[in-house]
Amino acid sequence: MLTRFAPAPTGFLHLGHVVNALHVWGAAREQGGSVLLRIEDHDRQRSRPEYDAAILEDLAWLGFAHHGPVVRQREREAIYQEALRPLIDRGLVYGCRCTRSDLQGERYPNTCRERCLPLADGAGWRVRFEPGVERFVDTIKGPQEQDPSEQCGDLLVRDRLGNWTYQFVAAVDDHLQGITDVIRGEDLLASTGRQLRLAWLIGRRTPPRFWHHPLVMKSPTQKLSKSDGDTGIRELRASGMSSAAVLDMARKVGNLLT
């Protein structure tokens, strides 16, 4: 069993991350597995080295030890190019000139599909998603069915600024790192069908198991977010709390008390 903790260095760790880390390291401990640490800094505009450093420091302070070297997505350009190459060769990737304001709603209406735009700088890159249902059994939430072509249309894998998208790099890294169990908050449940579709397309034969656990909510309708600075681990540390007390607090808000 090999799982991963995969924060984006776009803010400091908050209690929601600690709850996720408790699920990840808890499952690894129970199953005799290991945890890899992957810094998801694919968004070069939003990621910051100071958040990256602070995340490593806070994890060490909390006692979450990962296995092997830290993997950073921004260092994996050649790997992502190579993973996409067979899809380009099969004619499954096309250039897209649509801007955010051209798009309405969640689903991309495949506007640029037949325009034959090159995969040039300044264009987004999309992978064709034909209709079809992806089925999987979530370890926590049970059987699921998602049709990514209905949910999101043809999937953006690289944006107009040259950033790889989360969906693509997560699927590639989970495959190439041999991740057997993806354990994360249930806000990402809807991404799973598209990541499975990508996994098949890039040649993964055995998909990982997925575990989507409940999120820590600020109120019944608002989830915690690191960008609004809610319950940052830094603040809790600065207030003099011990790491054991922060872990207890996370167990409590995450309903992980046994």
Task: Please give the residue ranges that form the binding site for ligand GLU (CB under 6 A).
Answer: 6-8, 40, 170, 184, 188
Q: Which residues pair with 95 in a beta bridge?
A: 125
User: Least separation, in Å, of the C-beta of 109 and ligand GLU?
Assistant: 26
Name which of 8 and 15 has its Cβ closer to ligand GLU: 8
**Identity of the residue, 8 or 84, whose beta carbon is nearer to ligand GLU in the bound complex:** 8
Q: Which is nearer to ligand GLU, 129 or 211 (CB)?
A: 211
Cα-Cα-Cα-Cα torsion 7, 179, 194, 46, nearest 10 degrees, comes to 20
From residue 59, alpha-carbon distances to 7, 63, 83, 174, 236 in Å are: 11, 6, 30, 21, 14
Beta strand pairing status for 217-219 and 71-72? unpaired
CB of 68 to ligand GLU, least distance (A): 17
Q: Which is nearer to ligand GLU, 184 or 213 (CB)?
A: 184
Q: Looking at beta carbons only, is 59 or 96 nearer to ligand GLU?
A: 59
> Which residue is listed with tokens 């420091």?
57
User: Residue 8 or residue 233: which is nearer to ligand GLU going by CB?
Assistant: 8
Q: How far is the CB of 18 from ligand GLU (least distance, A)?
A: 13
CA distance 129 to 92: 8
Environment class of 73 (CB within 10 Å of its CB; exposed 0-12, middle 13-18, buried 19+): buried
Distance CA 110, CA 129 (A): 9
Which of residues 74 and 97 has its CB atom nearest to ligand GLU in the complex? 74
**Minimum gap (Å) between residue 162 Cβ and ligand GLU:** 19
- 8 Å CB contact between 153 and 107: yes
- Please give the Cα distance from 4 to 24 (Å, whole number): 7
Cβ-in-10-Å burial (0-12, 13-18, 19+) of 93 comes to: buried
CA distance 12 to 18: 11
Closest separation in Å from C-beta 219 to ligand GLU:
20
Length of the chain equals 258
Q: Are 95 and 124 in contact (CB under 8 A)?
A: yes
